Structures are given as structure tokens and as C-alpha cells.
Amino acid sequence: MSGYPTPHIDASPADFAPTVLMPGDPLRSRFIAETFLESPRLVNNVRGVQGYTGTYRGTPVSVMASGMGMPSIGIYSYELYTVFGVENIIRVGSAGGMTDKVRLRDVVLAEGACTDSNYAHDYRLPGTFAPVADFDLLRTAADQAEKLGLSYAVGNVVSSDVFYHDGQGVAPGCSAADQWRKMGVLAVEMEAAALYMNAARTGKRALAVLTVSDHLLTGESLPAEARQTSFTDMMKLSLETAVAMAEKGSAR
């Protein structure tokens, strides 16, 4: 494999495990590495986007930040898939709950990712593409969530390009949130759709594992520090999923 280092990742393919956890926040990346991984080593720090590789229960696992939004995760996930040989990317991030089916701190496994983004335009498709998670990753994560006894939901999320909307977005009280809610969308976030499209285009696997950090119906929210360090259920679930996927691979 050639083309490394890239402008965004100063590493080699040997520096990354087959599965990479991708939080948006570089500090959350460091927290996961230092809290859960054995012998983590920093493999990338270009622009402060920290990437680490270590082991979890004997299985090599990497964790690297994606930055915020679809353009950012689009760059990092594409390079990991096409240049560094990564097979599975599990986004671990926060989301805004949109229905009474999820509560604050619940885990959401994003089966599909609706979007208001024009990201798919680059593929010049003759229709509308439906970004979905890899079923093997999704099924494995759901099995692990059951074993861990987590409160979780599986369903659609919406990946939005805009955080501060001009009157008609997905912020509390805006009509767009009501429209997505009518379609059964569980939560809103900002990265999953691009990740799923990159995985589809490159023939790799992706899943977004999200924690409800605020809720558009109840107005509840968690402070920034809690978002960085307290989403341990989501982190452990993703790591256990990485181990289970590795075990499946070795059994084939």
C-alpha cells in the first residue's frame, strides 16, 4: 500500500489496527486510549487530531479523532480505508435525542443515516443514496450491548451539515426536527452519513455508536466535560465489538 503519509495522517499502515474507533473530539480519543487500551502509542498528531494504537483484551485496536462534521470525517475515514488498510470504523460520538424512544445517556446504534448534506453528489448517482451501517458490525454491536445490559436503541439518525440553523433546522422548536421525528428518526448528529458513504464506496465497514448527550424534546443536556469523559458505556461497547469482530475473522 502506498501514498503515506498523507497530508492529514503522518503514519504507516502498520501503525493502525483493522478496527478504528473514531470520536470527533481529539481529547476523547486520548481519553479512550489512556483509559481502555493497553500500551497505547500515539501514531498521529497532525493538526492535533490524535490517533493511538494499543490492545484491548489482547486485540489490537486504534482510536483516532475525526474532527467535527461530514467534510472532516470524510477526509480521515477515506484515508484510513484507502491508504492505511483499515477495515472497520466505529464512530463513537454524541447525538441529540429526537423522540421519546431514547433518553439522555442512552446508546443509539445508527442503522441508517438520513442527511441534509450534499455529500453524495460527488458520486454522481442517478438517484438518492441511502447510507446504512454494515450489518455485521451492527448485529455484533447489538449482541454486545445485550451482554453488557445497556439501554440502547437501533434505528435511523439524521446527519446534519449545520449546527446553528437559520430558523428551520433541527434545533429545539424548529419544524425540521418535527418532520424528521414523524419519520421515526431517533437522533441528530453530524458525521455518520459521510462515514457510511465512504465505507460503501471503498467496500469497507462502518457503524455509528452514539450516546444521547442532549434531548430536543425534554431540553436536557450534558456539560462538555461529561461528553468528553463519561460516555464509557458507548466506548466499552465499541471496544467489545472490535474484539468480537476480530474473533469472527480468526474463526473463518
DSSP 71-109: HHHHHHHHHHHHTS---EEEEEEEEEE-STT--TT-EEE
Is residue 2 one of the residues assigned to a domain? no
The average confidence (pLDDT) of the chain is: 92
Task: Report yes or no on 91 lying in a domain.
Answer: yes
Q: Are strands 51-56 and 38-44 parallel, antiparallel or unpaired?
A: antiparallel
Is 111 a domain residue?
A: yes
- Residue 85 in grid coordinates: 488498510
- CATH number for position 141: 3.40.50.1580
Residue 5 forms part of a structural domain: no
214 in catalytic set: yes
Rounded Cα–Cα distance for residues 79 and 197 (Å): 14
**What number of residues does the chain have?**
252
27-78 tens-digit pLDDT? 999 999 999 999 999 999 999 899 999 999 999 999 999 999 999 999 999 9
C-alpha cell recorded at residue 121: 453528489
Looking at the 3D structure of the chain, how many domains does it have?
A: 1
Report which of residues 251 and 44 the model is more confident about.
Answer: 44
Chain-centre distance for alpha carbon 66: 9
Rounded-to-integer distance, Cα 101 and Cα 155, Å: 10
Q: With a cut of 70, say whether residue 222 has pLDDT above it.
A: yes
CA distance linking residue 11 with residue 9, whole number of Å: 6
DSSP SS3 for 123: helix
Which domain does 177 fall in, by range?
A: 13-251
pLDDT at 226 over 90: no
Encode pLDDT of 122-152 as tens digits.
Answer: 999 999 999 999 999 999 999 999 999 999 9
Percent of the chain at pLDDT > 90 equals: 83
Asked if 162 contacts 169 with a C-beta cutoff of 8 angstroms, the reply is yes
Question: How far from each other are the two terminal CA atoms of the chain, in whole angstroms?
Answer: 24
At residue 229, what are phi and psi to the nearest 5 degrees?
A: -120, -15
Does residue 4 lie in a domain region?
Answer: no
Residue 6 counted as domain residue: no
Angle at 238 between CA 235 and CA 243, to 5 degrees: 125
Q: Under DSSP, is residue 66 helix (H, G, I), strand (E, B) or coil?
A: coil
List 215's β-bridge partners, or say none: 97
Asked whether residue 7 is domain-assigned, the answer is no
Residue (of 68, 167, 192) closest to 177 by Cα position = 167
Q: What's residue 229's pLDDT?
A: 62
Mean local confidence (pLDDT), 180-187 = 95
Residue owning grid cell 445517556: 105
Which residue is catalytic, options 15, 25, 106, 214?
A: 214
Pull the grid cell for residue 130.
441511502
What is the predicted pLDDT for the residue at 158?
A: 97
Question: Using 50, 70 and 90 to split pLDDT, how confident is the model at 217?
Answer: confident
Question: pLDDT-based confidence at 89, cuts 50/70/90?
Answer: very high
Residue 219: is its pLDDT beyond 60? Answer: yes
Alpha-carbon distance of 137 to 206, in angstroms, equals 7
Model pLDDT, residue 252 = 43
Percentage of the residues of the chain whose pLDDT score is greater than 70? 93
Put simply, whether the predicted model's pTM sits higher than 0.85 gets the answer yes
Domain-located, residue 44:
yes
